[in-house]
Structure 1
């Protein structure tokens, strides 16, 4: 999986940290504040979108919200910041895997649809920020997943060719983004995306239940 790779690029939510539950709760709480009903397909429509793109989706979907784009993003940031710092844990095996990659001389980056502030906050809070040579967001790349832009931006910042990068992702749109960037992708098990497991397996090159699978050689080639 890693023998011909010079860099490892991670999605954040659901991949490095167990945080997808936060956003489901925040969506429900936010809409309840303004007496809005969440459509059944809203979560699937948001998948892979950048932070700004999701805010625009909310404005388009809920025209009665007393917000503009910046107000929505700021309110979400306020609602989630403490949870990211205090309640969001790392996925199993993450500290050990990051240390192993550091010892192996692999460059490491983040390519997330989340905001840079929340990404850096949780990396610092969990004590893993120093492992990463680049933290890139879909907002910075100006296109959400499945566009390859955020992964190509991360590879550029790491100064590594895309084909020499291995991506870790948890949802189909993210897997597609990595593949569209010309990278191999390992998909990570996550409760939030368990109903998409078949699609994840169809798209990815590898599958792991946790990062110990990589270190122990028990990952699946798919």
Structure 2
């Protein structure tokens, strides 16, 4: 596989890359703001893209002048997302097959996500994919969320691999930039949620795929 030439490890984003879940976060934001009688602003997703779970909660608290503490905001989001992840969010096509391929070739894999630790654990266990990953990290464990390279550099360190020899899979612009800022090769992944950013994603990344199934042909 051409893409894996000179690559010693593969690092995946989670939402929109491994699982088809980006759609539900907008739904949660709309429902959550409605609790406070607030409208969902159309520019919101662009403002929070790439932020860690904690950074996003702080942003919400400040922008919408929410009375709840940051920890409660995060707890409420976890509760709202829990059921959806459990019942409505599938793995994206070709994901399991590609993970099997990496395992077979003994190429270590990691996850670098902006999601919360609780939800990441839920997703990994529900789809029974923890065995594929030697490192699973969230942006709350580093100083800054994406587009900063921090999270990708941390996972590379866990995997004991030079950043230059890592291949990243990402579905959003801020994530692609985080991978590039970490000096890694990046493959952009199609996701319905970010289809308007298609041209920009292709321009920023080294590779582009519509589905992980393409990797195995």
Instruction: Normalising by structure 2, report the TM-score.
Output: 0.97
User: Quick one: distance in 1 between partners of 2:88 and 2:134?
Assistant: 25
**1:149-170: CA deviations, max 9, x gaps?**
0000000011111011100000
**1:104-134: CA deviations, max 9, x gaps?**
1100000000011111210110111111001
Native 8 Å contact 1:86 1:125 kept in 2: no
Match of 1:219 in 2: none
User: Quick one: distance in 1 between partners of 2:55 and 2:43?
Assistant: 16
The answer to whether the aligner puts 1:130 opposite 2:154 as a matched pair is: no
User: Could you say what the CA RMSD is over the residues aligned between the two structures, in angstroms?
Assistant: 0.7
User: Could you tell me how far 1:66 is from its partner in structure 2?
Assistant: 2.5
User: Could you tell me how far 1:87 is from its partner in structure 2?
Assistant: 1.5
User: Quick one: distance in 1 between partners of 2:208 and 2:121?
Assistant: 26
DSSP 3-state at the match of 1:214: helix
The answer to whether the aligner puts 1:72 opposite 2:77 as a matched pair is: no
Match of 2:173 in 1: 172
DSSP 3-state at the match of 2:40: coil
Match of 2:148 in 1: 147
Match of 1:57 in 2: 59
Instruction: Normalising by structure 1, report the TM-score.
Output: 0.95
Structure 2 unaligned residues grouped into runs of 5+: none
Number of equivalences: 215
DSSP 3-state at the match of 2:4: coil
User: Quick one: distance in 1 between partners of 2:114 and 2:55?
Assistant: 9
Structure 1 unaligned residues grouped into runs of 5+: 217-222
Match of 2:35 in 1: 33
User: Could you tell me how far 1:18 is from its partner in structure 2?
Assistant: 0.2
1:108-123 correspondence runs (5 A): 108-123=109-124
**1:59-112: CA deviations, max 9, x gaps?**
11111x220100100000011112112221000000100000000110000000
Native 8 Å contact 2:61 2:67 kept in 1: no
User: Quick one: distance in 2 between partners of 1:147 and 1:94?
Assistant: 26
User: Quick one: distance in 2 between partners of 1:117 and 1:106?
Assistant: 26
User: Quick one: distance in 1 between partners of 2:191 and 2:175?
Assistant: 13
User: Quick one: distance in 2 between partners of 1:124 and 1:3?
Assistant: 31
User: Could you tell me how far 1:37 is from its partner in structure 2?
Assistant: 1.5
Deviation beyond 6 Å, 4+ runs, structure 1 = none
DSSP 3-state at the match of 1:13: coil
User: Quick one: distance in 1 between partners of 2:111 and 2:158?
Assistant: 11
Native 8 Å contact 2:168 2:186 kept in 1: yes
User: Could you tell me how far 1:3 is from its partner in structure 2?
Assistant: 1.8
Match of 2:184 in 1: 183
